[in-house]
Amino acid sequence: MPYSNPLPLNELTVQMSKLFEPFGISQDEFMTRFGNVFDPFGLFSEKSEKVAKDLLKSVDPFGITQSYLDVQKAWLNHPKELSDGLLQLSKDSWAVQLQTWERFGGFIVQDSVPVNEYDERFQEPEWIENPYLDTIKEIYLLYTRWIEDSIYKTPNISEKTRDKAGFWMRQVLNAISPSNYFWTNPVAVKRFIETGGQSLVKGLENFITDTKYKTIRMVDNTAFTVGGNLANTAGSVVYRSPLFELIQYKPQTENVHQIPLLFVPPWINKFYVLDLGEQKSFVRWLVAQGYTVFIISWKNPTEAMRNTSLDDYMLKGVLEAANVAKQITNAPHIHAVGYCIGGIILTALMAWLDADVQGDITSPIHSWSLFATLVDFENPGEIKVFIDEETIKHIEEMMSEHGYLSGDNLADSFRMLRSNSLIWHYYVHNYLYGEELPQFDVLAWNMDSTRLPEAMHSFYLREFYLHNKFMQPNGVTLGGRPIDVRKITQPLYAVGAEQDHIAPWKETFKMCGLVKSPVRYVLATSGHILGIISPPANPPKRRYWVSDATGQLDADAWVTATPKVQGSWWEDWDKWLGQQCGEMVAPPTIGSEQFPDLCPAPGTYVLEK
């Protein structure tokens, strides 16, 4: 059996074969004659490589190890560039060594590897004043930055492999930070001394409690109650289906706008991010401005819902809720609002309704709004590291066991995108400092995770994220119709968030150039949650950019030409909504004879764990 061509890693054998070329012995012939001498077990053959890859997939379904190996092989194929990088690392190491000598000698010198001003791990003065800690910090920063930079500079390798290797290596490097260990965390040692050791005792108690939750908690869950100090705006469930409950909120003004609002929240989390405490509740604020507000509360999927599809969420969810809200209020149409994945399914429904060439269905939605919503998934933010065939197959295997993806799995994935601030920050404060957990309503909501049904999530990951078919004209078929967002004509108010790492704002801006709708676009400061939950305050705490963006494609040009405004974009949206939602009329009843009041808000589905 002829010996297979060697891998680039088998550089010694390749170089040896070249020595025999002047004697008329080709590389292939050399490998056939002498390959077993240099590689007696066939470790570098193509067949062995396949076996190794198959073995890796069984123990490493995310392909982490393979991405590392691909990076290493790429660098070995570029020895000159690798040598240059190692030489620079050596020079920088000498600079750190010199700094260490100077610090131990009592001299005040600048850090060779400066700390990022936003890196809270090394902000304590001891990281500079104590030469031991300073040395540890500098070596850690030097090598971690060099490793990460080297991965992202890897020559002749796919961006996907580079991003995956960089992401997973960052998880390792963040985990081994000296700030995560007691003896190399000056604050932890100081608190131990100040409290007579009680800080570590409390930290141990926190650790034992967290083992029951199977996670590092970010918030004191016991401080919040859904229906108590969260999700407490007065209202009633007026409709219940196997997929959702529809909540109608009680009016707080003498008259209301004729056209009601229907919120379509993401089913990745529970709806009450839009109805937090009294000071942050988006729903409460809108009701106070004279709007009739409905909101969908999605059921937390069980194994029996494993075949629930994206079509179901669109037609048996959003469309059904829109028709119920329209009938209860006796309004000519409604205004629909979609947030995150709720905005994606709302966009699909708008395209589905506008594709009704036979005119069989009268659209109940004549204007709409989108909050932090993607349509083009070519660059879906940092979550793209989880989007490839191997990872999705692994997720599908996980879902096949119970018929859903556990909310804990999803929450852990999102926390890894910001592991220093969402994992290791709480590890240090909970266990090393022994602090009490914070009481923060947004974090309490974030920890109240939901499941995702197998059929829906598999389709969504593959067709939207992996293959980006939603962007393509007629690329996705839902409810028996091909979907093309370019056919949408209803007026749109779209919102992106400047620091959103889940739905990057420049990607959400692409909607402006896709739809035929007149579009008003807002760019809010902050991130995916706090950019949207932005109640007006005095003095103003937030800022935003807003202007007409109809047909625009260049996000950078738009924001450059748009002045920044102080305050909350909610107030601008209120003015725009007033034009869409008609004249002021007497408030509608809560529910109707056909859709009676079933129970008080927040209902029953939101309480399901």
Residues classed as catalytic: 340
Beta pairing, strands 584-585 & 256-257: antiparallel
Place of tokens 């004249």: 583
Measured at the CA of 18, the angle between CA 16 and CA 23, to 5 degrees, comes to: 110
Cβ atoms < 10 Å from Cβ of 247: 30
Cβ contact 233:275 at 8 Å: yes
> Distance between CA 85 and CA 71 in Å, rounded?
14
List alpha helices for 355-438, DSSP H.
389-402, 407-416, 419, 425-427
Which of 326, 344, 346 is closest to 336 using CA atoms? 346
Tell me the three state secondary structure of residue 49.
Answer: helix
How would DSSP label each residue in 106-149?
T-----SSPPPTT-GGG-STHHHHSHHHHHHHHHHHHHHHHHHH
Which of 306, 328, 324 is closest to 316 using CA atoms? 324
Burial string for 227-242 (b: 16+ CB within 10 Å, else e) reads eeebbbbebbbbbbee
Question: At residue 97, what is the residue type?
Answer: Q
> Distance between CA 500 and CA 380 in Å, rounded?
11
**Cα 104 to chain centroid, rounded:** 44
In the Cβ-directed half-sphere of 561, how many Cα atoms lie within 13 Å?
10
Indicate if the alpha-carbon torsion angle 65, 67, 70, 72 is positive or negative: negative
Which of 531, 170, 543, 142 is closest to 382 using CA atoms? 170
For 111, 192, 200, 508, the CA distances from 344, given in Å and listed in that order, are: 47, 50, 46, 11
For 116, 136, 364, the CA distances from 184, given in Å and listed in that order, are: 19, 8, 61
Question: At residue 261, what is the residue type?
Answer: L
Euclidean distance between the first and the last CA atom of the chain, given in angstroms as a whole number:
59
> Distance between CA 433 and CA 572 in Å, rounded?
43
Which of 180, 153, 181 is closest to 165 using CA atoms? 153
> Distance between CA 326 and CA 365 in Å, rounded?
9
Cβ contact 327:357 at 8 Å: no
